[in-house]
Amino acid sequence: MRAGSPRLLREINDRAAIEALLRNGPLTRSELEGIIGLSKPATAQLLTRLETEGTVLRNGLRGGGRGPRAQLWTVNGALAHVAAIDLTPSTVDVAIADISGTLLTEHSAPLPRTDVLEAFHGAVTKAANQAGLSPEALNHVVVGSPGAVDPATGRLNYAPHMPGWEGFDIPGTLADLLDTAVTVENDVNLVALEEMVAGRATGVRDFVLLWPADAVGAAVVVNGSLLRGATGGAGEIDAMQIPDHATADTGTDRTGGRYGDLLDSPAIVRLARAHGVSARTGQAAVRKALAEGTAGREFLVDLARRIATGAANVVSVLDPELVLLSGDIAQAGGTTLVDLVAAELRRLVVPRTPVQLALVTGKPVRSGALHSALSVVREQVFGLPAATTEPFRGPKHA
């Protein structure tokens, strides 16, 4: 046991150094020394060893001050590559990155209603080629998709709006198609993962992220881990039956209907028009309402009632630390809509759960997929602990 101790200590120090470089970007020897707590000679030996192995590279010099410029060190990004994909009914949005997290290329392509696998393969191949790679050279691919993959069958459930993706083992099929390892994860789950990594849920152990828009979804995090359920359907609240508590009558079944039918874009447009706010899309209606005085305010309160009615069912069961609102509708309404949802939620449930606007914007699904893919390959290559939120994986291609 004693003979193995120096080797074990070196491995621990190596992982600490690699993790510091991945987290902070290029560092000088003295900066790395300060982070990992080793002596100057030990840190120099460590860097020499990792450079010899090809794990780290010299990456220019850092100037400043009156002294000589210091050598910068970085992780060798070429050790592994990943793809992060946001798959929707109409598009395939692909990002390719190396193991350091450096984004190499992006590519987005339309997705037809037929021959979806061919179109998917073409989009990923083009993105990989733009990065100087082939699909099989990717070490791991993470796909964010509406619905949920059943862990027993690999089939996509709860996604009737994804034509062409029904009835087969999706992770296994994509792994064969791309000749590499593939993970398929629910899109809203990936947004929650991104909020845990770089958003408002950092350090939060129990929270719910709601996506109140077309195909309403939720992600549930309990004790720092995503809750998926027996069939992968935890958080699939689109079909949940709730009453319509909006004061304006838009022809809905007031006693109960699908949650998603109250919050898709046409339903939001109808609710806005009932309050005198005219717009072509739900997102545009929410933005317009913020500038339209009393009529706009009344519409936003009604919309908040609809959102809160569904959220109340989730909060009553889970009693989370935090509820996050994400997606285009939430971002369009901003803190005004969030505050209104919080006020309505307090009228409906006992827990006084804070409601906040999700911090990650832009492409949160793809960003979450990227962090998930990097977590997998960094565990494989460097032995770094994988995230506890690691998604369901398809079969790894031999």
pLDDT of residue 387: 58
Give percent of the chain above pLDDT 90.
87
Residue entry with tokens 């004061």 = 247
Q: Over 60: is that where the pLDDT of 78 sits?
A: yes
Model confidence at 197: pLDDT above 50:
yes
CATH code for residues 5-75: 1.10.10.10
Domains 5-75 and 200-357 share a fold: no
Q: Which amino acid is at 144?
A: G
pLDDT on residue 64: 64
Confidence grade of residue 256 (pLDDT, cut at 50, 70, 90) = confident
pLDDT in tens, 258-279: 999 999 999 999 999 999 999 9
Residue 388 pLDDT > 60, yes or no? no
Mean pLDDT of 190-200: 95
Residue 137 to residues 174, 184, 395, Cα–Cα distance (Å): 14, 18, 17
Is residue 219 pLDDT above 50, yes or no?
yes
Q: Where does residue 39 rank: exposed (0-12), middle (13-18), buried (19+ CB within 10 A)?
A: exposed
What pLDDT score was predicted for residue 341?
Answer: 98
Q: Which CATH entry fits the domain spanning 79-187+364-382: 3.40.1440.10, 3.30.420.40, 2.60.40.420, 3.40.50.10240?
A: 3.30.420.40
pLDDT range class, residue 7, cuts 50, 70, 90: confident
Cα(260)–Cα(58) distance, rounded to whole angstroms?
52
Average pLDDT (218-234) is 94
Please determine, for residue 68, whether its predicted confidence score (pLDDT) is greater than 60.
Answer: yes
Homologous superfamily (CATH) of 200-357 is ATPase, nucleotide binding domain (3.30.420.40)
Which of the residue ranges 73-82, 140-149, 382-391 would you say has the lowest mean pLDDT?
Answer: 382-391
Place of tokens 């009344």: 298
- The pLDDT tens digits of the residues spanning 120-144 come to 999 999 999 999 999 999 999 999 9
Query: For the segment 159-186, what is each residue's pLDDT rounded down to a tens digit?
Result: 888 999 999 999 999 999 999 999 999 9
Domain ranges of the chain: 5-75, 79-187+364-382, 200-357
Which pLDDT value is given to residue 5? 76
Half-sphere exposure of 251 (CA within 13 A, CB side): 7
* Mean pLDDT of all residues belonging to the chain: 93
